[in-house]
Structure 1
Amino acid sequence: MASESGVMSPIGIANLPNQRHKIVAKRGAAFTIMVAGESGLGKTTFINTLFSTTIKNYADHRRRHAKQVDKTVEIEITKAELEEKFFKVRLTVIDTPGFGDYVNNRDSWQPIIEFLDDQHESYMLQEQQPRRTEKIDLRVHACLYFIRPTGHTLKPLDIEVMKRLCTRVNLIPVVAKADTLSPSDLAKFKHRIRAVIEAQGIKIYQPPLEEDDEAGLQHARSLISAMPFSVIGSERDVPTPDGRTVKGRQYAWGVAEVENEEHCDFKKLRAILIRTHMLDLIHTTEENHYEAYRAQQMETRKFGEARPRKLDNPKFKEEEEALRKRFTEQVKVEEQRFRQWEQKLIAERDRLNKDLESSHAVIKQLEQEVENLQATLTSHNGPVHALAFSSGSGQYLLTGSSDRQVRLFNPSTAKLIQTYSAHGYEVLDLAVSDDNSRFVSVGGDKTVFVWDVATATTVRRFVGHVGRVETCALGGEGDSVVVSGSWDGRVGVWDLRARGERAMMWFGEARDAVSCVRVVGGEMFAGSVDGRVRVYDVRMGVVDGDVVGGSVVSVCPTRGGEAYLVSVLGGTGRLMDRPSGRCLQSFRAAEYRNETYRVRSVLGMNDGVVVAGSEDGAVVVWDVESGGMMQRLWHREGGGEGVGGGKGSEKKDVVAAVAWNQARGMWASAGGDGRVVVWGSGE
């Protein structure tokens, strides 16, 4: 019949679109969208508004700020399945929390770039497998880059990130929170953004222009002209003055509607993402971005070779390189310093070996001088906790006691010259200025006193510690700085030249009481009950810490500050190398006891001997070079009678403080019996 009439029936090719429609309707579609930009721009709200359901939960702002410490950009994947009129879409939303939230955002885009490349790489490897029926495809079809509505132009970070994103994904710039700008400001802002994008060569997604479809052509041109899209995000239904209920934000002046094209470009952005160009976004990703990545990898890699990767976090790589460089430099410096120190030790050893005979003669002479005490001072009415010779010639001796008094003696004549009274509790430490015009005292009343020696009056009183002040020192130019350490675990620095009474600086690194502070040059040495000696370089703003393995009761730097003597509970003293923290020598003896109380130790004879008090009423002297005990002298009355046979020391037997004066070759000891004993020739 068809041949007779001359009309041929259709062969059915025109039904192919219908067949394709059935296949697509049965399989559904997979669409992956990435949202990038700084926190707080409404990315989560936009996604939920776009799909009219809760796709992503809102982030905990407290958790967001807690993550600031980590300084990392995360990749957060959210999956959902949407259905409309029996057609299903498997939606994947990629968020980038942490991006752009830090002071230094260098390389913060690297985790995002790595993720995009990883998805292309994963898909390419799956295509090369024998079985490809269950491929996992997380290739990103569209990336919405949210721009903060500053009203000016793109930030350098935005430009750098968009340059790197546009070669890997369909990039769509979005101006967030458009309701914060007036219509005129928004138009100018979008114009500036378009100018920067064009000048920087950033390729953003452009809908295809189909000349044979006039309506589609006009729609595509309207979308292109609206870029970058301005959006308002809101999941709330608000009433309008004309009685409608819309998604929007309620303000005093009216309602900002999400789907009102006079207010924002939300409908245009929804159209390009879902209604009119979702399939084009998917095909563009497949045919352009994925194929470009695949071709580039095929040209540059051998078969089976893994893709070269950077570190998962470029910030860590940068920090690792900086630390490695710093470590190498420090190793070189320490090696050089060690060589110099080793050479000095060798030279010192040779010198000491040559002078060994003369040293023995000096020791014998010292033993003879010790046999005859120069003076015994007994004016205090309680245990004496602190001693300090006057600077220079050491003609005078300051003592501080639990009777709340500071006394000035002439040790050569045992004469009391002056009494200083102001403390409300026991005096625990003393420090004398280089010109002997002032001294500092501290104690149980939590106050730092600065005294005028001549008038016996306090010229300054510093408060701020919340526990008893254990120790003090003077330093700085012209002894203009007072350093104090307290039971509250803090080190205070006070400026004598300032008029205020507040501390210039506080250092609170110690985890327990600060028992001793000393100053040499620009460095402060602080010993703590937490078992550490911390050295603060005030000029460089650096603090070093050495773990000495016990509660520190005394710290005494050498005259040059290249090493320091530290004593800890348990009856052990150590000479520590300041630069390296290495133990150079140890000082211990069965006859030396320091188990309970704060017992001081000092360096004497040009840092050649160690003099330390003991809890059994003795003063012990060690040789620095050999570490051997040279002498054991009895501070307590009656000498060694009854000592050693008992089970413990009484508090009155404890020799808590010692002091050395180089100019006169004398030293002094003080203890719980209230006596101060001055040893040596005095001339």
Structure 2
Amino acid sequence: MYRTSWGVKPKEVKKSSERKAKMEETSVEDLPQKEAHILKGHEGAVLAARFNADGNYCLSCGKDRTIRLWNPHRGIHIKTYKSHGREVRDVHVTPDNSKLCSCGGDRQIFYWDVASGRVIRKFRGHDGEVNGVKFSEHSSVVVSAGYDQSLRAWDCRSHSTEAIQIIDTFADSVMSVCLTKTEIIGGSVDGTVRTFDIRIGREISDNLGHPVNCVSMSNDSNCILAGCLDSTLRLLDRSTGELLQEYKGHTNKSYKLDCCLTNTDAHVTGGSEDGFIYFWDLVDASVVSRFRAHTSVVTSVSYHPEENCMVTSSVDGTIRVWKT
């Protein structure tokens, strides 16, 4: 099955009653724009920063080949994880905070024990650098996105280091991956967002016409937000592939930058190559706030699951914590 949303005029974003109520509760003043802490310790560019499931901790990774665990609310560094042979590009932690996975330039996916810092398993099989990793809902499977134009799934419970599933229908590097209970969604430099229903083996491809370097899900799981290298974020209806809205103003032409929705789904946020953070109104796509957050490229944004709080990372070597 194939569908395309390239060239389609954005449709009006539908507002469910629940979403509308949440939106009305969230004003621009509630957005995190005041710097609470600067987290320093990485040597060189920080490539990603991610809140854990409950928002009490965050993880970061970068060019210095390390992963770091922080308490962002107190500005405290807790632990450093070292084993990668090259830069670490992405990191994700299980909902119970007991395990984490990471990937990077050494073409491997590492599966770690958080408390001990021990590498439980190394998954090998990608023929190029690995750009993104995510745990499945029950943390038993890790899915990775690679420069070798593939998504690969790995079983954390098995002692095998071979991939249990390989999706290689992309025509260029896969930059980002997100998961639902039944689907794997990948964004690629080939300009597509591809959704794989693992229950029935069906693939759906949405062609955005521009290289995709980030995909993330709305909190109600109805929409996919895709960051593209034409300095545009695009919101897609997950079930139909319809292009709902486009968000512009930031600069993203050559770096892999994150984008996401706020925890109420009222606003879209993303970094910019000029060091700015942008907030857009979800519905009308107007820029409601922009501010300089870093002295260089903002590589990553991660929004707290419940509070008005955000962490950002940058090529300038810092992670910054933002609150209202």
Q: TM-score band, normalised by the shorter chain?
A: over 0.9
Cα separation, 2, equivalents of 1:679 and 1:469: 29
1:426 equivalenced with 2:87 (yes/no): yes
Greater C-alpha Rg: 1
Q: Does 1:616 align with 2:274?
A: yes
Cα distance per residue 1:266-295 (max 9 Å; x no partner) = xxxxxxxxxxxxxxxxxxxxxxxxxxxxxx
2:36 pairs with 1:382: no
Partner of residue 523, structure 1: 183
Secondary structure (helix, strand or coil) at the match of 2:144 reads strand
TM-score by length of 1: 0.45
Q: Distance in 2 between matches of 1:582 and 1:515?
A: 22
Partners of 1:370 and 1:609 in 2: CA distance:
14
Match of 1:293 in 2: none
Deviation at 1:662, TM superposition (A): 2.0
Relative contact order higher in (CA < 8 Å, ≥ 6 apart): 2
Q: Paired residue for 1:665, among 289, 305, 308?
A: 308
Name the CA distance, whole Å, in 2 between partners of 1:560 and 1:607.
8
Query: Cα 1:364–1:423, aligned 2, differ >3 Å: closer, same or farther?
Result: same
Q: CA deviation at 1:561?
A: 2.7
SS at match of 1:479: coil
Normalising by structure 2, we get a TM-score of 0.92
Report if aligned partners of 2:30, 2:308 keep a CA contact under 8 Å in 1: no
Q: Gapped runs of 5+ residues in structure 1? A: 1-325, 327-340, 638-652
Do the aligned partners of residues 377 and 523 (structure 1) sit closer, same or farther apart at CA in structure 2, a change above 3 Å counting? same
Alignment of 1:66-85 (within 5 A): none
Separation of aligned partners in 2, 1:408 and 1:349: 34
Distance in 1, matches of 2:16 and 2:82, equals 49
Q: 1:631 maps to what in 2?
A: 289
The equivalences for 1:575-594 within 5 A come to 575-589=235-249, 592-594=250-252
The two structures, once aligned, show a CA RMSD in angstroms of 2.3
Tell me the SS of whatever aligns to 1:345.
coil
**Aligned in 2, Cα 1:350/1:517: closer, same or farther, shift over 3 Å?**
closer
Q: Deviations along 1:330-381, whole A, 9 cap, x unmatched?
A: xxxxxxxxxxx99x935449946x975x54xx32243xx523x111011110
CA distance in 2, matches of 1:450, 1:346: 39
In the comparison of the two structures, how many residue pairs are matched?
A: 317
Q: Is the 8 A contact 2:183 2:196 kept in 1?
A: yes
Give, in whole Å, the separation in 1 of the partners of 2:49 and 2:317. Answer: 12
Compared with structure 1, are the counterparts of its residues 524 and 462 closer, same or farther at alpha carbon in structure 2 (3 Å cutoff)? Answer: same
Amino acid at match of 1:459: I
Q: 1:349 to 1:520 in 2, by over 3 A?
A: closer
**Distance of aligned partners of 1:557 and 1:365 in 2 relative to their CA distance in 1, 3 Å threshold:** closer
Distance, in Å, in 2 between the alignment partners of 1:662 and 1:431 is 15
| Equivalent in the alignment of 2:319 | 676
1:445 is aligned, of 106, 110, 123, to 106
8 Å Cα contact 1:520/1:560 also seen in 2: no
The answer to whether 1:457 aligns with 2:100 is no
Determine the structure 1 residue equivalent to 2:148. Answer: 488
Would the aligned equivalents of 2:268 and 2:280 in 1 still touch at CA under 8 Å? yes
Amino acid at match of 1:345: K
Which letter maps to 2:315?
A: G
Task: Map residues 136-535 of structure 1 onto 2, 5 A cutoff.
Answer: 345=14, 347-348=16-17, 351=20, 356=24, 358-359=25-26, 362-366=27-31, 370-371=33-34, 373-392=35-54, 394-476=55-137, 478-535=138-195
Contact 2:23 2:264 in 1 (8 A): no
Gap change, CA 1:355 and 1:508, over 3 Å in 2: closer
Q: Distance in 2 between matches of 1:583 and 1:576?
A: 5
Report the CA distance between 1:473 and its aligned residue.
0.6
- Deviation of 1:521 after TM superposition, in Å, equals 1.2
Q: Distance in 2 between matches of 1:396 and 1:573?
A: 27
1:573 pairs with one of 233, 237, 243: 233
Residue deviations 1:103-122 (CA, integer Å, cap 9, x gap):
xxxxxxxxxxxxxxxxxxxx
Where does residue 8 of structure 2 map in the other structure?
none
1:612 touches 1:621 (CA, 8 Å); kept in 2?
Answer: yes
1:655 alignment counterpart: 298
How big is each residue's C-alpha offset from its partner over 1:611-663, in whole Å with a ceiling of 9 and x where there is no partner? 101000111111101111111121124xxxxxxxxxxxxxxx11111111122
Give unmatched runs, 5+ long, in structure 2: 2-10
Residue-by-residue CA offset, 1:496-518 (whole Å, 9 max, x unaligned): 12221100010100111000011
Instruction: Give the structure with the higher percent strand.
Output: 2
CA distance in 2, matches of 1:600, 1:508: 23
